[in-house]
């Protein structure tokens, strides 16, 4: 995920609004106690998601992939007063931790936390979304997009994480073409050629593909 010089990245962090105290605590606990802590959005990406959400002022957000709740808390910063964050995760082992941090961040009444298979849950959501964040299993990115595109309002946004996949989208950075990389290559090309949307790929952390529905 390290695409820029470490010192330059630190300079960026030093000139980015700090994490809230709750997010700092969640960041520390995730790295200390949870497997694969690199899945956490972290400081710069978290502030980026919060900034997008604050610009959009969504009434309804869908997050596919809750993990420990860091990105959800960040996204919720831009919700309207009566807005709702729907967040989906298949791993119920983290439920207690996630609910505890949603409560500590003061957003538990704004969150609908769905546990289970997102491919099955998304079709049951009778909601029009202003903002969708995709950060789950890479194999199904295209499937998630297909399920949500008609649920996003015109002018709404979809943001997909990890679309650079530690640089492995470029042949020179991979030893072989694994299934996750192949799925992301297909997804990135799918978005690029879909005339229903416009998009920009940002090299923030592991790559954020920002997609606007026309």
Per-residue pLDDT tens over the stretch 41-86 = 999 999 999 999 999 999 999 999 999 999 999 999 999 999 999 9
For β-strands 111-115 and 84-89, DSSP reports them as parallel
Beta strands in the chain (DSSP E): 60-64, 84-89, 111-115, 129-134, 152-161, 197-202, 208-213
Total H helices, total E strands in the chain: 8, 7
Per-domain residue ranges of the chain? 6-213
Band (pLDDT 50/70/90 cuts) for residue 39 is: confident
**Interval 154-209: pLDDT, tens:** 999 999 999 999 999 999 988 889 999 999 999 999 999 999 999 999 999 999 99
Binning pLDDT at 50, 70 and 90, where does residue 2 land? low
| Region 125-154 average pLDDT | 98
Three-state DSSP class for residue 36: coil
Nearest to 135 by CA among 44, 60, 56, 208: 208
Provide mean pLDDT across the span 91-100: 96
| Span 82-95, average pLDDT | 97
Question: pLDDT category, 37, cuts 50, 70, 90?
Answer: confident
pLDDT for residue 1: 60
Question: What superfamily does domain 6-213 belong to in CATH?
Answer: Vaccinia Virus protein VP39 (3.40.50.150)
> How far apart, in Å, are the Cα atoms of 90 and each of 76, 114, 149?
20, 8, 21
Average pLDDT value for the chain: 96
Calculate mean pLDDT across residues 30-49.
92
């Amino acid at each position: 995920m390290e695409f820029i010089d470490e010192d330059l990245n630190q300079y960026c962090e030093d000139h980015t609004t700090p994490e809230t105290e709750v997010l700092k605590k969640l960041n520390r606990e995730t790295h200390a106690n949870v497997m694969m802590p690199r899945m956490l959005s972290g400081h710069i990406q978290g502030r980026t998601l919060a900034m997008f959400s604050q610009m959009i002022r969504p009434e309804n957000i869908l997050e596919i992939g809750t993990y420990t709740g860091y990105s959800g808390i960040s996204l919720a910063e831009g919700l309207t007063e009566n807005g709702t964050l729907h967040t989906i995760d298949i791993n119920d082992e983290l439920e207690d931790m996630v609910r505890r941090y949603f409560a500590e961040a003061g957003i538990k009444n704004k969150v609908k936390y769905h546990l289970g298979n997102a491919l099955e849950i998304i079709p049951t959501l009778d909601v029009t979304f202003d903002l969708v964040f995709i950060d789950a299993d890479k194999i199904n990115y295209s499937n998630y997009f297909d399920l949500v595109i008609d649920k996003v309002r015109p002018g709404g946004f979809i943001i997909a994480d990890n679309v650079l996949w530690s640089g492995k989208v470029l042949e020179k950075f991979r030893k072989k073409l694994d299934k996750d990389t192949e799925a992301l290559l297909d997804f990135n090309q799918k978005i690029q050629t879909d005339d229903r949307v416009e998009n920009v790929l940002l090299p923030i952390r592991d790559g954020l593909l920002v997609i606007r529905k026309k």
